[in-house]
């Protein structure tokens, strides 16, 4: 009896762990937030403009070295599946998914070495799931659904 109860309990624990980890296991909270804190928030932190404010004075903020804030999950998601769908992917792609083969202009910030940049991109790609550079007006419902980008 005790052995069976033990097995049932253990199965429940393992199933719970698998569900909590999601598909690839990468979440905003366990990996992505840390990468952004290390390499992006100096220019995209809480003192940076919201996307709405940024769009109103893009040139001014660019001169000031500030991009739209991405210091919370919801601010970040504006550039993943929100009003600026795909912006995060377009700016971070290493050129492999781009038609012109050029990396996005924020890829250079993704790490101190080429190895670190490609590893951080791998983590962010795993987090996003369906990696696409498409804009909101061009993206299909299926492509949108393939973007996972779990918070936790």
Q: Which of 142, 109, 110, 140 is nearest to 125 (CA)?
A: 110
**Whether 33 contacts 150, CB under 8 Å:** no
DSSP assignment letter at 32: I
Q: Which of 61, 25, 63 is nearest to 45 (CA)?
A: 61
Is the Cβ of residue 67 or residue 103 nearer to ligand HEC in the bound state?
67
Count CB-CB contacts under 10 A for residue 51: 19
Is the Cβ of residue 68 or residue 150 nearer to ligand HEC in the bound state?
68
Cα 58 versus chain centre, distance: 22
Minimum distance, C-beta of residue 5 to ligand HEC, in the bound complex (Å):
48
Q: Which residues bind ligand HEC (CB under 6 A)?
A: 39-40, 42-44, 62, 65-68, 79, 84, 87-88, 91-92, 105-106, 109-110
Is the Cβ of residue 10 or residue 102 nearer to ligand HEC in the bound state?
102
Minimum distance, C-beta of residue 25 to ligand HEC, in the bound complex (Å):
21
Structure tokens, 94: 């290493």
Minimum distance, C-beta of residue 84 to ligand HEC, in the bound complex (Å):
4
Minimum distance, C-beta of residue 101 to ligand HEC, in the bound complex (Å):
19
Is the Cβ of residue 11 or residue 26 nearer to ligand HEC in the bound state?
26
């Amino acid at each position: 009896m005790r052995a069976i109860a033990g097995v049932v309990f253990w199965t429940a624990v393992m199933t719970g762990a698998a569900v909590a980890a999601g598909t690839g296991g990468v979440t905003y909270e366990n990996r992505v937030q840390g990468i952004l804190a290390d390499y992006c928030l100096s220019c995209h932190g809480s003192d940076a403009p919201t996307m709405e404010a940024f769009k109103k004075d893009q040139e001014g903020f660019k001169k000031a070295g500030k991009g739209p804030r991405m210091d919370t999950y919801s601010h970040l998601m504006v550039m993943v599946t929100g009003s600026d769908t795909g912006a995060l992917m377009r700016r971070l792609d290493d050129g492999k998914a781009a038609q012109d083969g050029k990396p996005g202009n924020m890829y250079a910030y993704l790490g101190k070495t080429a190895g670190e940049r490609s590893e951080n991109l791998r983590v962010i790609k795993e987090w996003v799931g369906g990696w696409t550079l498409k804009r909101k007006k061009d993206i299909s419902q299926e492509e949108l659904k393939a973007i996972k980008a779990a918070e936790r």
